[in-house]
Amino acid sequence: MKKFNPIGCEGHLEAEAARLSAPTRRGLLLGAGFSLAAWAGRNSALADLAIAGKDKDKPHDVLVTIFLRGGADGLNAVVPYAEDAYYRNRPNLSIAGPKDLRTGVSSRIVDLNGFFGFHPALSPLISAYREGKLAIVHACGSQDSTRSHFEAMAAIERGLAAEGPGPASGWIARHLASTERSDDSPLRAVAFGGTLPDSLHGASNTVALESLTDFKLETPDYKRLHFEAALRDLYGPGTDEVTHAGRETLAVLESLRKIDPAQYRPSHGAVYPDTDLGRGLRQTACLIRADLGLEVAALDRGGWDTHFVQGSTVGILSLSLDDLGRSLAAFYSDMGGEMAHVTVVVMTEFGRRVAENSSLGTDHGRASFMFVMGGSALGGHIYGKWPGIEDHQLDQTGDLRVTTDYRDVLCEVLAKRMRNDRLSAVFQNFDPKPVGVVA
């Protein structure tokens, strides 16, 4: 797929220890209930506690996915300011280009390529873009045309063209299953949030948590030391699966105690916003640096359903974009050279209507945008075929047409960065087309 050409329009993550007066093997294992939910219902929870050895060769990246729930407005995030139709359709919500011809006043929009520009709130990302580490894909999405949040999100998280028949498991879960090894870490995939996203449904070695502190034994030090000493006595000798799991439990607890996010200090002066997304990315960086076998971190950021008073350079959308921009920029700065082995993918279920509504907002639309950020990203470009937003270029309901399937982008990331050579097991009956966003 070609990079965007404005002329030809061608274009890319308590269990409190039992009060043990006379410890038993069963009591101790039940007491070590950090992250109970992660292994609930598993066939062999003890064996699953055994953590994988560190892979010194780093054969693949860590994949970080961020789902913008609610339908993010791609037209005011990555603005086609060179399109006259953009201003005609959004007289109150549009963002002035590098120089507003109506007033002669320059705006704070950040020009990207002479045709598109970043919303001012995304300006923290311009360094990553200009350094070639942030790629943008515009006019992308699924083939779901219901404009229903539930159905569109379900389709994307299940890895389908549209909601309907197909695997019930999530696309990330199928990726993990298709690349599973016997020594995979129990922290292979982490979702930062209260629930496991649909994209991870059906996956093993996966946990949803609000904070890394969920993995700690929240007990006074004297009880914790007593508990751990008892574990060492019980599981020090022996070579069977249970004793191995017990020793590895101790190793995991010790490792996680050293990476308490409250004590984590970001590098390179990075400052994460004190938001759910900012805290989630901060903990993701902390977990990556712990080198405990993390492969996928899944994060969400809601609040993108801007039917009312969306705003232009200030307002609801601007606040959401500010959080996204500052959180991603902090993560990029914090990871520094380690971004060479990290790929971040940002996506949403659909975009917004081209025309603003009578409530000074935008209704559910079709195509939106994706970001791919990392050391492997072929950034500094906007990928995809831009369909245009003149009336005759829109779909039959007046929405920006989808010209790049979101699965094309995900397939490329999985194949090139996550070393998955079984894409047909992840996205069934799908023939991916090259996008060119990652090396």
- For the segment 131-160, the average pLDDT, to the nearest whole number, is 97
173 contact partners, CB below 8 Å, separation of at least 6: 199, 200, 201, 202, 203, 206
Q: Could you list the residue range(s) of the whole structural domain that residue 134 is in?
A: 61-214+272-426
Looking at residue 208, its pLDDT comes to 84
Would you say how long the chain is, in residues?
Answer: 439
What pLDDT score was predicted for residue 19?
30
135 in Cβ contact with 437 (< 8 Å) = yes
**pLDDT, tens only, 277-303:** 999 999 999 999 988 889 999 999 999
Please answer whether residues 92 and 355 qualify as being in contact, where contact means their C-beta atoms are separated by less than 8 angstroms.
no
Single pTM value for the model: 0.82
Domain presence at residue 43: no
Is 253 within the bounds of a domain?
Answer: no
Report the alpha-carbon distance of residue 306 to residue 361 in Å, rounded: 6
CB atoms within 10 A of CB 10: 13
- The first and second tokens of residue 42, run together, are 């598993």
Tell me, yes or no, whether 69 lies in a domain: yes
pLDDT digits (tens, 9 = 90+) for 62-118: 999 999 999 999 999 999 999 999 999 999 999 988 765 555 555 678 999 999 999
For 323, phi then psi, to 5°, come to -65, -45
* Tens-place pLDDT, residues 223-269: 556 666 766 676 666 677 667 656 655 655 665 666 777 788 999 99
Instruction: Please write the tens of the pLDDT for every residue from 46-70.
Output: 223 233 333 445 568 999 999 999 9
426: Cα within 13 Å, side-chain hemisphere: 29
Q: What is the pLDDT of residue 184?
A: 79
- Three-state SS annotation for 77-105: HEECCCCHHHHHHCCCCCCCCCCCCCCCC
Q: What is the residue whose two structure tokens read 């569109």?
A: 152
Per-residue confidence (pLDDT) for residue 96, from 0 to 100: 87
Assigned domain for 367 exists:
yes
Residue 45, in any domain of the structure: no
Q: Which residues lie below 8 Å from residue 74, measured CB to CB, with a gap of 6+? A: 138, 139, 348, 351, 352, 367, 368, 369, 400
Is position 102 within any domain? yes
Q: Find the DSSP H helices in 241-335.
A: 241-258, 276-290, 316-335
Query: What integer pLDDT is reported at residue 48 of this predicted model?
Result: 34
Residue 219 is assigned to a structural domain of this protein: no
Provide the domain count of the chain. 1
pLDDT digit string, tens, across residues 5-16: 443 333 432 232
Furthest-apart CA atoms within the chain: distance in Å:
80
Question: Is there a domain that residue 154 lies in?
Answer: yes
Provide the pLDDT for residue 162. 93
Sheet holding 117-118, edge to edge: 78-79, 117-118, 110-111
Could you tell me the CATH number of the domain that includes residue 341?
A: 3.40.720
Q: What per-residue confidence (pLDDT) applies to 212?
A: 83
pLDDT value of residue 211: 84
How does strand 134-141 pair with strand 382-383? Answer: parallel
List the single range of 213-227, 375-389, 411-425 with lowest mean pLDDT. 213-227
Q: How far apart are CA 424 and CA 405, in angstroms?
A: 16
